[in-house]
Structure 1
Amino acid sequence: MKLQDLPQFSIKKVAAGAAYPALIGHFSGLDGVREGRSWLYSPGQSLFGELHDLDLSSGSAIFSAPYWDAQSAGQPGMSLPWLDGYWDPYQIEMIVDPNHVWRWVEFVPSDAQHFLLQGHRGWTKVGQKLPENAVPLEVVPSGWDHEHCDLCRAHIDADSGRGAYVDGDDRWMCETCYHRYAERHDLSFLVTA
Protein backbone atom coordinates (compact mmCIF):
# COMPACT_ATOMS: atom_id res chain seq x y z
CA MET A 1 0.00 0.00 0.00
CA LYS A 2 1.35 3.39 -1.02
CA LEU A 3 0.42 6.92 0.03
CA GLN A 4 -1.85 7.37 -2.99
CA ASP A 5 -3.81 4.25 -1.92
CA LEU A 6 -5.03 5.93 1.28
CA PRO A 7 -8.46 7.62 1.28
CA GLN A 8 -7.96 11.11 -0.16
CA PHE A 9 -9.89 14.05 1.29
CA SER A 10 -10.53 16.73 -1.35
CA ILE A 11 -11.03 20.13 0.23
CA LYS A 12 -13.81 22.11 -1.43
CA LYS A 13 -13.80 25.11 0.91
CA VAL A 14 -12.78 26.30 4.35
CA ALA A 15 -15.48 27.85 6.53
CA ALA A 16 -15.61 29.25 10.04
CA GLY A 17 -16.64 26.37 12.28
CA ALA A 18 -18.26 26.55 15.71
CA ALA A 19 -14.85 26.41 17.40
CA TYR A 20 -12.27 25.77 14.65
CA PRO A 21 -11.86 26.21 10.92
CA ALA A 22 -13.98 23.65 9.06
CA LEU A 23 -12.50 22.05 5.95
CA ILE A 24 -15.48 20.94 3.89
CA GLY A 25 -14.90 18.29 1.27
CA HIS A 26 -15.33 14.70 0.20
CA PHE A 27 -13.42 11.43 0.13
CA SER A 28 -12.21 9.49 -2.89
CA GLY A 29 -13.08 6.27 -1.05
CA LEU A 30 -14.19 5.35 2.44
CA ASP A 31 -12.13 2.23 3.28
CA GLY A 32 -11.26 2.58 6.96
CA VAL A 33 -12.59 6.13 7.25
CA ARG A 34 -14.45 6.90 10.45
CA GLU A 35 -15.47 9.99 12.33
CA GLY A 36 -13.23 11.20 15.13
CA ARG A 37 -9.68 12.31 15.73
CA SER A 38 -7.60 12.04 12.59
CA TRP A 39 -5.02 13.66 10.34
CA LEU A 40 -4.77 15.02 6.83
CA TYR A 41 -1.27 13.99 5.85
CA SER A 42 1.26 16.30 4.24
CA PRO A 43 5.02 15.74 4.70
CA GLY A 44 6.23 17.92 7.56
CA GLN A 45 2.94 19.78 8.00
CA SER A 46 0.06 17.37 8.51
CA LEU A 47 -3.19 18.74 9.88
CA PHE A 48 -4.64 17.36 13.10
CA GLY A 49 -8.39 17.54 13.52
CA GLU A 50 -11.76 15.95 14.06
CA LEU A 51 -13.65 14.34 11.20
CA HIS A 52 -17.42 14.67 11.52
CA ASP A 53 -20.65 14.85 9.52
CA LEU A 54 -19.43 11.97 7.35
CA ASP A 55 -22.04 11.03 4.74
CA LEU A 56 -21.43 7.39 3.82
CA SER A 57 -23.42 7.62 0.60
CA SER A 58 -21.72 10.67 -0.92
CA GLY A 59 -18.37 10.63 0.90
CA SER A 60 -18.80 14.25 1.98
CA ALA A 61 -17.47 15.27 5.39
CA ILE A 62 -16.19 18.11 7.53
CA PHE A 63 -12.70 18.13 9.02
CA SER A 64 -12.42 20.60 11.92
CA ALA A 65 -8.78 21.64 12.16
CA PRO A 66 -7.81 23.70 15.23
CA TYR A 67 -4.35 24.57 13.88
CA TRP A 68 -5.34 25.35 10.29
CA ASP A 69 -4.36 28.74 8.87
CA ALA A 70 -3.94 30.30 5.45
CA GLN A 71 -0.41 28.84 5.17
CA SER A 72 -1.43 25.29 6.12
CA ALA A 73 -1.08 22.40 3.72
CA GLY A 74 -4.84 21.86 3.40
CA GLN A 75 -6.20 24.55 1.09
CA PRO A 76 -9.30 24.54 -1.12
CA GLY A 77 -8.69 22.54 -4.28
CA MET A 78 -6.16 20.23 -2.60
CA SER A 79 -6.53 16.53 -1.83
CA LEU A 80 -4.69 15.07 1.14
CA PRO A 81 -4.44 11.48 2.39
CA TRP A 82 -6.58 10.82 5.48
CA LEU A 83 -4.99 9.05 8.44
CA ASP A 84 -6.78 7.56 11.45
CA GLY A 85 -5.91 9.30 14.72
CA TYR A 86 -4.41 6.10 16.14
CA TRP A 87 -1.36 6.81 13.99
CA ASP A 88 0.97 9.80 13.87
CA PRO A 89 2.27 11.41 10.68
CA TYR A 90 5.89 10.66 11.60
CA GLN A 91 5.05 6.95 11.31
CA ILE A 92 4.02 7.52 7.69
CA GLU A 93 7.11 9.60 6.96
CA MET A 94 9.52 7.02 8.38
CA ILE A 95 8.02 4.39 6.06
CA VAL A 96 7.54 6.35 2.82
CA ASP A 97 10.73 8.43 2.94
CA PRO A 98 13.31 6.57 0.80
CA ASN A 99 16.11 8.45 2.62
CA HIS A 100 15.02 7.40 6.12
CA VAL A 101 17.98 5.59 7.68
CA TRP A 102 17.51 2.49 9.83
CA ARG A 103 20.34 0.52 11.38
CA TRP A 104 20.19 -2.98 12.78
CA VAL A 105 21.21 -3.31 16.43
CA GLU A 106 21.08 -5.81 19.25
CA PHE A 107 19.17 -4.36 22.17
CA VAL A 108 21.30 -3.75 25.26
CA PRO A 109 19.66 -2.58 28.51
CA SER A 110 20.67 0.88 29.71
CA ASP A 111 20.33 2.75 32.97
CA ALA A 112 16.93 4.17 33.89
CA GLN A 113 16.29 7.46 35.68
CA HIS A 114 13.35 7.13 38.03
CA PHE A 115 11.36 10.25 38.90
CA LEU A 116 8.30 11.44 40.80
CA LEU A 117 5.65 13.53 39.05
CA GLN A 118 2.46 14.61 40.80
CA GLY A 119 2.70 11.72 43.25
CA HIS A 120 3.34 9.07 40.58
CA ARG A 121 6.61 7.27 39.87
CA GLY A 122 7.91 7.09 36.35
CA TRP A 123 11.17 6.35 34.57
CA THR A 124 13.02 7.15 31.41
CA LYS A 125 16.42 6.41 29.91
CA VAL A 126 19.29 8.19 31.59
CA GLY A 127 20.11 11.24 29.49
CA GLN A 128 16.54 11.88 28.33
CA LYS A 129 14.86 15.08 29.46
CA LEU A 130 12.58 14.55 32.43
CA PRO A 131 8.97 15.72 32.19
CA GLU A 132 8.33 19.25 33.43
CA ASN A 133 8.06 19.42 37.26
CA ALA A 134 9.41 15.87 37.66
CA VAL A 135 11.59 15.24 40.70
CA PRO A 136 14.56 12.95 39.92
CA LEU A 137 14.94 9.90 42.15
CA GLU A 138 17.38 7.00 41.87
CA VAL A 139 19.18 5.72 38.77
CA VAL A 140 18.61 1.98 38.24
CA PRO A 141 21.46 0.21 36.41
CA SER A 142 20.12 -1.66 33.34
CA GLY A 143 16.62 -0.55 34.37
CA TRP A 144 15.65 0.41 30.81
CA ASP A 145 15.24 -3.22 29.78
CA HIS A 146 13.16 -3.08 26.60
CA GLU A 147 11.79 -0.96 23.80
CA HIS A 148 8.63 -1.35 21.73
CA CYS A 149 8.26 -1.58 17.98
CA ASP A 150 6.85 1.74 16.85
CA LEU A 151 4.32 0.01 14.58
CA CYS A 152 3.17 -3.25 16.19
CA ARG A 153 4.22 -2.50 19.82
CA ALA A 154 6.12 -5.81 20.11
CA HIS A 155 8.67 -6.01 22.94
CA ILE A 156 12.28 -5.60 21.86
CA ASP A 157 14.61 -6.83 24.58
CA ALA A 158 17.89 -8.64 25.19
CA ASP A 159 16.13 -11.89 26.14
CA SER A 160 14.37 -12.26 22.78
CA GLY A 161 17.63 -13.18 21.05
CA ARG A 162 16.64 -11.03 18.08
CA GLY A 163 17.88 -7.68 16.99
CA ALA A 164 15.83 -4.75 15.82
CA TYR A 165 16.15 -1.59 13.79
CA VAL A 166 16.54 1.92 15.19
CA ASP A 167 16.59 5.29 13.44
CA GLY A 168 18.27 8.60 14.23
CA ASP A 169 15.31 9.69 16.37
CA ASP A 170 15.65 6.58 18.59
CA ARG A 171 12.49 5.02 17.15
CA TRP A 172 12.55 1.24 17.23
CA MET A 173 11.15 -1.27 14.80
CA CYS A 174 11.07 -5.05 15.13
CA GLU A 175 12.63 -7.12 12.35
CA THR A 176 9.23 -8.30 11.11
CA CYS A 177 7.86 -4.77 10.67
CA TYR A 178 11.11 -3.53 9.18
CA HIS A 179 11.12 -6.20 6.46
CA ARG A 180 7.36 -6.08 5.89
CA TYR A 181 6.87 -2.30 5.86
CA ALA A 182 9.95 -0.06 6.10
CA GLU A 183 12.15 -1.96 3.67
CA ARG A 184 9.34 -2.06 1.09
CA HIS A 185 7.88 1.40 1.89
CA ASP A 186 4.55 -0.35 2.45
CA LEU A 187 1.80 1.37 4.45
CA SER A 188 -0.42 -1.70 4.78
CA PHE A 189 0.16 -1.67 8.56
CA LEU A 190 -2.43 1.12 8.58
CA VAL A 191 -5.18 -1.35 7.68
CA THR A 192 -3.89 -4.51 9.35
CA ALA A 193 -3.50 -3.06 12.87
Structure 2
Amino acid sequence: MNKDDVRRAYDDLAPVYAEQRTGDGEGMAILTEFLDSLPESPRVLDAGCGQGTPVLTRLASEADPVGLDFSREQVTLAAENVPDAPLAQGDMTALPFGTDAFDAVVAYWSLIHVPMDDHQTVIDEFARVLRSGGRVLVCEGTNEWAGENPDWLESGVRMEWNIAGAAETRAQLQNAGFEVTDTWGAPETMNPDEEDGEETGDSDDDHPWTFFSARLES
Protein backbone atom coordinates (compact mmCIF):
# COMPACT_ATOMS: atom_id res chain seq x y z
CA MET A 1 0.00 0.00 0.00
CA ASN A 2 1.16 3.51 -0.85
CA LYS A 3 -0.16 6.15 1.57
CA ASP A 4 0.13 8.90 -1.01
CA ASP A 5 -2.10 6.92 -3.37
CA VAL A 6 -4.76 6.72 -0.65
CA ARG A 7 -4.43 10.45 0.05
CA ARG A 8 -4.82 11.32 -3.64
CA ALA A 9 -7.79 8.97 -3.93
CA TYR A 10 -9.60 10.70 -1.08
CA ASP A 11 -8.82 14.05 -2.71
CA ASP A 12 -10.30 12.84 -5.98
CA LEU A 13 -13.49 11.29 -4.60
CA ALA A 14 -14.17 13.80 -1.82
CA PRO A 15 -17.70 14.82 -2.98
CA VAL A 16 -18.74 11.20 -3.67
CA TYR A 17 -17.46 10.00 -0.30
CA ALA A 18 -19.18 12.88 1.50
CA GLU A 19 -22.54 11.74 0.14
CA GLN A 20 -21.95 8.28 1.65
CA ARG A 21 -20.85 9.41 5.12
CA THR A 22 -23.81 11.51 6.24
CA GLY A 23 -25.96 8.82 7.87
CA ASP A 24 -26.45 7.74 11.46
CA GLY A 25 -25.43 4.09 11.40
CA GLU A 26 -24.50 1.78 14.25
CA GLY A 27 -21.17 3.56 14.54
CA MET A 28 -22.92 6.73 15.70
CA ALA A 29 -24.77 4.90 18.46
CA ILE A 30 -21.40 3.56 19.61
CA LEU A 31 -19.98 7.10 19.55
CA THR A 32 -22.79 8.31 21.79
CA GLU A 33 -22.03 5.57 24.33
CA PHE A 34 -18.31 6.40 24.14
CA LEU A 35 -18.94 10.11 24.74
CA ASP A 36 -20.96 9.25 27.83
CA SER A 37 -17.80 7.71 29.33
CA LEU A 38 -15.73 10.90 28.94
CA PRO A 39 -15.37 13.87 31.29
CA GLU A 40 -17.42 17.00 30.67
CA SER A 41 -16.32 19.05 27.60
CA PRO A 42 -13.45 16.71 26.67
CA ARG A 43 -10.83 17.63 24.10
CA VAL A 44 -11.19 14.95 21.43
CA LEU A 45 -9.12 14.25 18.32
CA ASP A 46 -11.02 12.90 15.32
CA ALA A 47 -8.18 11.08 13.54
CA GLY A 48 -9.25 10.70 9.93
CA CYS A 49 -12.12 13.16 10.17
CA GLY A 50 -12.88 13.13 6.44
CA GLN A 51 -15.39 15.76 5.42
CA GLY A 52 -16.48 16.29 9.03
CA THR A 53 -19.74 14.37 8.88
CA PRO A 54 -21.07 12.62 10.78
CA VAL A 55 -18.40 12.08 13.48
CA LEU A 56 -16.74 15.50 13.85
CA THR A 57 -20.14 17.20 13.70
CA ARG A 58 -21.39 14.96 16.50
CA LEU A 59 -18.28 15.64 18.59
CA ALA A 60 -18.75 19.38 18.18
CA SER A 61 -22.11 19.15 19.93
CA GLU A 62 -20.63 17.77 23.18
CA ALA A 63 -16.86 18.10 23.12
CA ASP A 64 -13.95 20.35 22.19
CA PRO A 65 -12.99 18.56 18.97
CA VAL A 66 -9.97 18.77 16.67
CA GLY A 67 -10.12 17.17 13.24
CA LEU A 68 -7.19 15.66 11.35
CA ASP A 69 -7.10 14.11 7.90
CA PHE A 70 -4.43 13.13 5.38
CA SER A 71 -6.44 14.52 2.45
CA ARG A 72 -6.42 18.26 1.77
CA GLU A 73 -9.79 18.08 -0.01
CA GLN A 74 -11.36 16.27 2.93
CA VAL A 75 -10.04 18.92 5.33
CA THR A 76 -11.46 21.65 3.07
CA LEU A 77 -14.91 20.05 3.23
CA ALA A 78 -14.62 19.59 7.00
CA ALA A 79 -13.91 23.32 7.38
CA GLU A 80 -17.19 24.02 5.59
CA ASN A 81 -19.20 21.46 7.54
CA VAL A 82 -17.77 22.12 11.03
CA PRO A 83 -16.47 25.69 10.81
CA ASP A 84 -15.76 26.09 14.54
CA ALA A 85 -13.54 23.01 14.87
CA PRO A 86 -9.75 23.39 14.55
CA LEU A 87 -8.45 21.25 11.68
CA ALA A 88 -5.08 19.95 10.54
CA GLN A 89 -3.83 18.04 7.53
CA GLY A 90 -1.44 15.36 8.69
CA ASP A 91 -0.31 11.76 8.90
CA MET A 92 -1.55 9.56 11.73
CA THR A 93 1.88 7.88 11.96
CA ALA A 94 3.33 11.23 13.12
CA LEU A 95 0.54 13.27 14.67
CA PRO A 96 1.22 17.03 14.61
CA PHE A 97 0.31 17.47 18.27
CA GLY A 98 2.22 17.49 21.53
CA THR A 99 2.04 14.83 24.21
CA ASP A 100 -0.84 14.81 26.70
CA ALA A 101 -2.92 17.00 24.35
CA PHE A 102 -6.27 15.16 24.35
CA ASP A 103 -8.75 13.45 26.62
CA ALA A 104 -9.82 11.08 23.84
CA VAL A 105 -9.10 10.01 20.27
CA VAL A 106 -11.63 8.55 17.85
CA ALA A 107 -10.63 6.88 14.58
CA TYR A 108 -13.48 5.91 12.24
CA TRP A 109 -12.61 4.16 8.95
CA SER A 110 -9.08 5.61 8.98
CA LEU A 111 -6.74 3.00 10.46
CA ILE A 112 -7.87 0.62 7.71
CA HIS A 113 -6.16 2.85 5.10
CA VAL A 114 -2.76 2.75 6.85
CA PRO A 115 -0.12 0.27 5.64
CA MET A 116 -0.27 -2.84 7.80
CA ASP A 117 3.24 -2.37 9.19
CA ASP A 118 2.29 1.11 10.44
CA HIS A 119 -0.82 0.20 12.43
CA GLN A 120 1.11 -0.19 15.68
CA THR A 121 2.85 3.14 15.07
CA VAL A 122 -0.52 4.88 14.70
CA ILE A 123 -1.88 3.38 17.91
CA ASP A 124 1.34 4.32 19.71
CA GLU A 125 0.80 7.89 18.48
CA PHE A 126 -2.72 7.85 19.87
CA ALA A 127 -1.26 6.86 23.24
CA ARG A 128 1.36 9.61 23.04
CA VAL A 129 -1.11 12.45 22.52
CA LEU A 130 -3.53 11.22 25.20
CA ARG A 131 -3.47 12.35 28.80
CA SER A 132 -3.14 9.72 31.53
CA GLY A 133 -6.37 7.74 31.65
CA GLY A 134 -7.37 9.02 28.20
CA ARG A 135 -9.69 7.03 25.99
CA VAL A 136 -9.57 5.83 22.41
CA LEU A 137 -12.33 4.57 20.12
CA VAL A 138 -11.08 2.70 17.06
CA CYS A 139 -12.93 0.76 14.38
CA GLU A 140 -11.30 -2.06 12.45
CA GLY A 141 -12.41 -4.89 10.24
CA THR A 142 -13.24 -7.99 12.25
CA ASN A 143 -11.24 -10.20 9.88
CA GLU A 144 -7.79 -9.52 8.43
CA TRP A 145 -7.94 -8.44 4.79
CA ALA A 146 -5.86 -6.41 2.34
CA GLY A 147 -6.97 -5.39 -1.12
CA GLU A 148 -8.18 -2.71 -3.46
CA ASN A 149 -11.18 -1.61 -5.51
CA PRO A 150 -10.42 0.05 -8.86
CA ASP A 151 -13.82 1.79 -8.99
CA TRP A 152 -14.80 2.39 -5.38
CA LEU A 153 -18.27 3.86 -4.88
CA GLU A 154 -18.55 3.89 -8.69
CA SER A 155 -16.34 6.97 -8.64
CA GLY A 156 -13.72 5.76 -11.11
CA VAL A 157 -11.18 6.11 -8.27
CA ARG A 158 -9.00 3.25 -7.02
CA MET A 159 -8.93 2.72 -3.25
CA GLU A 160 -6.76 0.45 -1.06
CA TRP A 161 -7.26 -1.11 2.37
CA ASN A 162 -5.01 -2.84 4.90
CA ILE A 163 -7.24 -4.34 7.59
CA ALA A 164 -5.38 -5.94 10.48
CA GLY A 165 -8.39 -7.70 12.01
CA ALA A 166 -9.87 -7.48 15.48
CA ALA A 167 -7.47 -9.86 17.24
CA GLU A 168 -4.37 -8.04 16.00
CA THR A 169 -5.85 -4.62 16.77
CA ARG A 170 -6.63 -5.68 20.34
CA ALA A 171 -3.00 -6.81 20.73
CA GLN A 172 -1.72 -3.52 19.30
CA LEU A 173 -3.84 -1.52 21.75
CA GLN A 174 -2.48 -3.56 24.63
CA ASN A 175 1.09 -3.14 23.34
CA ALA A 176 0.60 0.64 23.42
CA GLY A 177 -0.50 0.59 27.04
CA PHE A 178 -4.27 0.55 26.60
CA GLU A 179 -6.77 -1.54 28.53
CA VAL A 180 -9.66 -2.56 26.26
CA THR A 181 -12.86 -1.74 28.15
CA ASP A 182 -15.61 -2.32 25.57
CA THR A 183 -16.05 -3.87 22.13
CA TRP A 184 -18.94 -3.72 19.70
CA GLY A 185 -19.67 -5.52 16.47
CA ALA A 186 -21.20 -3.40 13.73
CA PRO A 187 -22.83 -4.30 10.39
CA GLU A 188 -21.73 -0.88 9.12
CA THR A 189 -21.90 0.13 5.47
CA MET A 190 -18.82 1.41 3.60
CA ASN A 191 -17.49 -2.15 3.43
CA PRO A 192 -14.33 -2.21 1.27
CA ASP A 193 -15.95 -4.83 -0.99
CA GLU A 194 -19.02 -2.70 -1.67
CA GLU A 195 -19.66 -1.45 -5.17
CA ASP A 196 -22.87 0.51 -4.68
CA GLY A 197 -23.25 1.29 -0.97
CA GLU A 198 -25.05 -1.98 -0.22
CA GLU A 199 -23.61 -4.49 2.23
CA THR A 200 -22.25 -7.58 0.56
CA GLY A 201 -23.61 -9.96 3.19
CA ASP A 202 -20.81 -12.43 2.50
CA SER A 203 -18.81 -11.82 5.68
CA ASP A 204 -17.82 -14.72 7.89
CA ASP A 205 -19.44 -12.73 10.69
CA ASP A 206 -22.70 -10.81 10.98
CA HIS A 207 -20.55 -7.95 12.28
CA PRO A 208 -17.78 -7.30 9.73
CA TRP A 209 -16.54 -4.32 11.76
CA THR A 210 -15.33 -4.24 15.35
CA PHE A 211 -15.16 -1.10 17.51
CA PHE A 212 -12.79 -0.95 20.46
CA SER A 213 -13.02 1.44 23.39
CA ALA A 214 -9.85 1.44 25.45
CA ARG A 215 -8.34 3.42 28.33
CA LEU A 216 -4.70 4.46 28.53
CA GLU A 217 -3.33 2.91 31.69
CA SER A 218 -1.60 5.29 34.11
Task: Give me the TM-score of the superposition, normalised by structure 1.
Answer: 0.25
Please state which structure has a larger fraction of its residues in strand: 1
Task: Give me the TM-score of the superposition, normalised by structure 2.
Answer: 0.23
